[in-house]
Amino acid sequence: MKRIIAFSLITLSAILITYFTTKDKKKPLPIINPIDVNQEMVDPELLRQGYGHTIGAFEFNNQIGKTITLNEIRGKVTVVEYFFTTCMTICPKMNVQMQGVSTHFKDNKDVKILSFTVNPEVDTEEKMKEYADAHKANPDQWHFLTGKKEDLYNLARRSFFVLKPAESQNLGDAGNDFIHTNNFVLIDKQLRIRGYYDGTSLKETQQLIKDMAILLEE
C-alpha cells in the first residue's frame, strides 16, 4: 500500500510539474505562405507555393517625401495595412487601432508600420502627410506610402495577400479595381508573414501587440 501511495504521489507531482512549466509557454506564431490564405487574395503564380514566402522588393515615397524600400523593414518587426485617406468606412477604425500600436511601441526602433494607399491618384505625399499628422504618426516609424498604382497592387497581391478583385456588381469603396480588406499583416525580422488581424477590432489589435512582442524577442 505504501508503495502504491508513493507511486501515486510521484505521478501526481510529475503531472503538476509538467502543467505548471508548460501552461505559460508561448505558442510559436505560424509562418504563413500563399497556400495558407484565401486563394482570391493571391497572385495565381504563387498559389502552389507551400513554403519559403518572403516580402518582395518595393520602393515608394512616404508622407515626407522619403523613399522607403524593403531595407527599411529588414531585421524589424513590421505591421502592414492597405487603406485610403478618403475612406469613410473601415479605414478610420483601422487607423485608430494602428495609432494605438504605434503609441505602444513609440520608443522601439525595431518596430515599423507601413500604410499603403490603394488610391494613389488622390493620396499624394501632401495628402498622406495631412493624414499622418492627424494620427500623430512618427515618420521614422510609421510610413504612409504612395506611388504607382500597379506597383502598389502587385505588392499587395504578391507579398501581403490583402487585396482581392472587386465584383463587377459591387465595386466597394476602394475604387473600381480592388476591394481592400480590414487586415493588419504582421511581418517578422526575416520578412515572413506571421499573422493577420482584424484592424477594426480592439481585441485583435491587442493580440497583435502581444504577438509583436513575441517576435521582438526572437
Q: Which domains does the chain have, with CATH numbers?
A: 29-217 (3.40.30.10)
Residue 19 has pLDDT above 90, yes or no: no
Residue 122 has pLDDT above 50, yes or no: yes
Q: What are the residues whose beta carbons fall under 8 Å from the beta carbon of 202, sequence distance 6 or more?
A: 97
64, amino acid identity: I
Residue 185 pairs in a beta bridge with: 80, 196
Residue 18 has pLDDT above 70, yes or no: no
Residue 13 has pLDDT above 80, yes or no: no
Residue 23 has pLDDT above 80, yes or no: no
DSSP category for residue 28:
P
Higher pLDDT: 101 or 41? It is 101
Q: What is the pLDDT of residue 179?
A: 65
Q: Residue 20 CB: number of other CB atoms within 10 A? A: 9
Of 41, 73, 75, 81, give the one whose Cα is nearest residue 57: 73
Q: Residue 64 CB: number of other CB atoms within 10 A? A: 13
DSSP letters, 177-188, are SEEE-SEEEEE-
Higher pLDDT: 108 or 1? It is 108
Ramachandran assignment for 54, one of left (phi > 0), alpha (psi -120 to 50 degrees), beta (any other): beta
Among the ranges 43-52, 83-92, 178-187, which has the highest mean pLDDT value?
83-92
Q: What is the pLDDT of residue 180?
A: 72
In this prediction, residue 33 has a pLDDT band, given cuts at 50, 70 and 90, of: very high
Q: What is the pLDDT of residue 166?
A: 57
Residue 212 has pLDDT above 50, yes or no: yes
Q: What is the pLDDT of residue 164?
A: 72
Contact status, residue 91 vs residue 198, Cβ threshold 8 Å: no
Q: Residue 86 CB: number of other CB atoms within 10 A? A: 13
Q: What is the pLDDT of residue 43?
A: 85
Where b means 16+ CB within 10 Å and e means fewer, 132-161 reads beeeebeeebbbbbbbebeebbebbbbbbb
Mean of the pLDDT values across residues 131-157? 95
- Kindly report, residue by residue over 159-199, the tens digit of the pLDDT: 999 887 654 333 344 444 556 789 999 999 999 999 999 99
Mean of the pLDDT values across residues 89-98? 93
Q: What is the pLDDT of residue 178?
A: 59
Mean of the pLDDT values across residues 29-35? 95
Q: Cα–Cα distance between 188 and 184 in angstroms, integer?
A: 13
- Kindly report, residue by residue over 56-81, the tens digit of the pLDDT: 999 999 999 999 999 999 999 999 99
Q: Are strands 183-187 and 77-83 parallel, antiparallel or unpaired?
A: antiparallel
